[in-house]
Amino acid sequence: MVGNRQRTSTRQTWNEGAMLNAIDAVKNGQMGWLKAAKLFNVPQATLRRRANDVNKKTKGCAKVLGRFSSTFNEAEEKKLVGHILLLESRLFVLTTKEKQLAFEFATRNGIPNRFKDGSAGREWLRGFRMRHPAISLRQPEAVSAARAAAFNRPQIQKIFDTLEMTLENEKIDVHYIYNMDESGLSTVQRAPKIFAKTGRKQVGSLTSAERGQHVTCVCCMNAIGNFVPPAPIFPRKNRKEELLDALPPGSLGLFHETGWMTGDTFVLWLEHFQNIVNASLESKVLVLLDDHSSHKSLKALTFAKNNGTAMM
């Protein structure tokens, strides 16, 4: 939920358009400070500072309340809005919990910020939504288990319409469509069912270990059967080359404490993908994948865009 804190201050309640007109009138010599302030209903002292460009925190008719200024300027926030709308058009889902996108944007562009724990705060998100009505929070349609199993024609059609539009806009040939997904593997195989005496409470089968480790394997291939060498993600903090023995030629060995895909790990996989398929802005490729949070980091999407890889 986003906070509902109501503003109690009456400072800077003047209209920005009126302030801009007052500044223009003073600068053009049409009238003086007092007359412009009364005519356009703006504070005379504020008008004087704005017209002389001596305000310490802002220029023109922009408003700044308190001792803190906005993290992003108008152009930077427009880029964020465009980024969010692009993700939504490609069927990537962003929720209010994924505020780390703003932190990544600020960090990547060297913008000073007060974000904590690698994520923007609730109040920043509230203000961002108020400044940009082009985006809004929508309640997704609830899907029953039966409908999820069979899916439905409108949803299927929406996916194919988006796919067709992406291929046309990006000028991608059908044999440059790749599908990528992560599969969870275990180092211990599940024992098959065995015959045993009826009524026995416990039945055992010899395996290499009772509990295995989870290993994620990233697999990717295109519509005509060409595949990108796999990239297993081993649950280790430190790299161990012995684990890469006997992997298919060209495979990428990744290591992470959890063994799961993360934003940084996904960027490494994108670099691996780029080295194999040699995509470019003149010869683009499309990667079909799910909307896991690791696939939506700003660093990953920027790398893909700069190297001619569209993701959907």
Confidence of residue 260 (pLDDT cuts 50, 70, 90): confident
Q: Which two tokens mark 21? A: 């007109």
Q: Give dist(CA 246, CA 252) in Å, integer.
A: 12
Q: Enumerate residues 6+ apart whose C-beta is below 8 A from 51.
A: 22, 23, 26, 27, 33
pLDDT at 7: 60
Q: Are 256 and 265 in contact (CB under 8 A)?
A: yes
pLDDT over 90 (residue 295) = no
* 46 strand-pairing partners: none
Amino acid at position 65, single letter: L
Confidence of residue 98 (pLDDT cuts 50, 70, 90): low
Instruction: Average the pLDDT over 73-90 and give the result.
Output: 76
Amino acid at position 33, single letter: W
pLDDT at 140: 56
pLDDT at 40: 87
pLDDT at 191: 54
pLDDT at 207: 46
pLDDT over 50 (residue 237) = yes
* 233 strand-pairing partners: 216, 254
**pTM of the predicted model, to two decimals?**
0.58
Amino acid at position 268, single letter: L
Q: Give dist(CA 31, CA 25) in Å, integer.
A: 6
pLDDT tens-place string over residues 134-177: 777 665 555 444 444 556 677 778 778 888 888 888 888 888 99
Ordered structural domains, the chain, with CATH: 12-69 (no CATH), 74-131 (no CATH), 169-188+211-311 (3.30.420)
Q: Enumerate residues 6+ apart whose C-beta is below 8 A from 185.
A: 214, 215, 216, 217, 232
pLDDT over 80 (residue 231) = yes
Average pLDDT taken over every residue of the chain: 76
pLDDT over 60 (residue 238) = yes
pLDDT at 69: 66
Instruction: Average the pLDDT over 52-77 and give the result.
Output: 68
Q: Give dist(CA 296, CA 301) in Å, integer.
A: 7
Least confident of 152-161, 170-179, 264-273, 274-283: 152-161
Q: Give dist(CA 97, CA 116) in Å, integer.
A: 14
Amino acid at position 140, single letter: P
Instruction: Average the pLDDT over 62-88 and give the result.
Output: 72
pLDDT tens-place string over residues 189-221: 555 555 544 555 555 544 444 455 678 888 999
DSSP state of 95: -
pLDDT over 70 (residue 35) = yes
pLDDT at 271: 93
